[in-house]
Amino acid sequence: MFENFFSQRIKNTPSSFIREILKVTQKPEIISFAGGLPNPISFPQEELKISMNRIADKYGDKIYQYSTTLGLDSLRQYIVDRYKKIWNMQISIDNVIITTGSQQALDLIGKVFINENDKVMVEKPSYLGLLQSFCLYSADFVQTKLNDDGLDIEELKKTLKTHKPKLAYLIPNFQNPTGLTYSVQNRKEVFEVIKDEDMILVQDDPYGELRFEEGDRIPYIGLNQTEKNIYLGSFSKIVTPGMRLGYIIANKEIIHMLETAKQASDLHSNIFGQYLISDYLYNNDLDKHIEKIKKLYKTQANAMVGAMEKYFPKNIKYTIPKGGMFSWVTLEEGKSSVDLFNKAIKKNVAFVPGDPFYVNEHNVNTLRLNYTNADSETIEEGIKRLSEALKEI
């Protein structure tokens, strides 16, 4: 009825594959590895309840009133202090804008940088929320293959030479969907290749704090070496996603443009949530809280990897996560994970087929498994069911 009214961009935007899948997987009998939800253990509920009462008493009507587009100063200062401490970044709150979750960060970056048909380089596979978001700005995606240790350097060189992308979007830590992390060496090589290019590099990092295997944090690509880097962060995986609070760290000139874009998008992010998270962060030990999350995710990841080792045929490959929330499974060449999904759902187990993480590829042989929302026994049972489904394709 309204077909003639809708914009070209919205008609071109795939409605979420995952949303459709989640509808199927909500039956209680289904073991679902499809979602990307953090475990509720990551929400410090008791502490947040103390904080909400404290901010209500302390700030009165300020927590309910309109506020500034850039975000609450104290929260921006916390981010500055944390990135200075961890990464020795020389930034001030003028380099930080609070966003309505990282998803809005993607939307704002699309608004500020992408003209129709601008080339954007993403990993292959990439985060589907980014693909959907930039699709609304009619970006022309080019994908560069992701290997076990990071971007494929030869393919990266070729992509840059052929397409000259204006912007690259990478998730270097515990990537969604693959769970992979770029090695120190790979990051250095990537930076060597891109450093003289006329290209903005966006590094999205929602999972970086969740390294549960031994090893140090690995510095961002080109950390402290270029003004063309944009860093995204989020409180969704370490405090609460329900408040929709993330942030962008960038050069001030970029922040100024993002501020204009954000003002037109939602004026500002909910200020109650900003006071709440800020109060929580200043009155509690975030790192101690994160340890608790990591301990659980390690157990869950081990359960999944252990079960895959036990039940999967030897020709099925999967990534072994060192952090984050996902493992990525590769079936035999020529098999389709959508076919597997249809068999699996009949055995009451679900996952996300790889298709929506690629640009213009269908019936791929890869799939994403999430392990953060089930206990070890359930995970083992789910993988067992999945291995039964594997026999039928």
Map the footprint of a second copy across residues 99-118, applying CB under 8 A: 100-101, 103-104, 106-107, 111-116, 118
**Interface with a second copy, residue 181, by CB under 8 A:** no
Pairing of strands 167-170, 150-151: unpaired
**Interface with a second copy, residue 267, by CB under 8 A:** yes
List the one residue from 29, 214, 216, 253 that touches a second copy (CB under 8 A): 253
In whole angstroms, the minimum distance from the beta carbon of 130 to a second copy comes to 9
CA–centroid distance for 124 within its chain: 14
Judged by DSSP in three states, 351 sits in coil
Residues 6+ apart with CB under 8 A from 234: 101, 102, 205, 206, 241, 245, 246, 247
**Interface with a second copy, residue 372, by CB under 8 A:** no
CA distance 367 to 328: 6
**Interface with a second copy, residue 137, by CB under 8 A:** yes
Q: Which stretch binds a second copy (CB under 8 A): 36-44, 156-164, 312-320, 381-389?
A: 36-44
CA–centroid distance for 32 within its chain: 19
**Interface with a second copy, residue 37, by CB under 8 A:** yes
List the one residue from 76, 124, 244, 294 that touches a second copy (CB under 8 A): 244
Footprint (CB under 8 A) of a second copy, residues 78-97 = none
CA distance 190 to 226: 13
CA distance 106 to 341: 29
User: Which residue bears the tokens 């070496």?
Assistant: 225
Give the count of alpha carbons within 13 A of 54, CB side only.
15
Binding mask 52-81 for a second copy (x = CB under 8 A): xx--x---xx-xxxxx-x------------
List the one residue from 54, 256, 298, 347 that touches a second copy (CB under 8 A): 256
Footprint (CB under 8 A) of a second copy, residues 193-232 = 198, 200, 227
CA distance 330 to 94: 43
In whole angstroms, the minimum distance from the beta carbon of 79 to a second copy comes to 19
**Interface with a second copy, residue 278, by CB under 8 A:** no
Given a contact cutoff of 8 angstroms between Cβ atoms, the answer to whether 258 and 267 are in contact is no
**Interface with a second copy, residue 273, by CB under 8 A:** yes
**Interface with a second copy, residue 283, by CB under 8 A:** no
**Interface with a second copy, residue 269, by CB under 8 A:** yes
Q: Which stretch binds a second copy (CB under 8 A): 6-14, 148-156, 215-223, 384-392?
A: 6-14
Pairing of strands 229-234, 246-249: antiparallel
In whole angstroms, the minimum distance from the beta carbon of 115 to a second copy comes to 5
Helix pair 252-266, 101-113: axis angle to 10 deg = 110
Give the count of alpha carbons within 13 A of 77, CB side only.
7
Handedness of CA 190, 202, 298, 125 (dihedral sign): negative
CB of 37 or CB of 338, closer to a second copy: 37
**Interface with a second copy, residue 133, by CB under 8 A:** yes
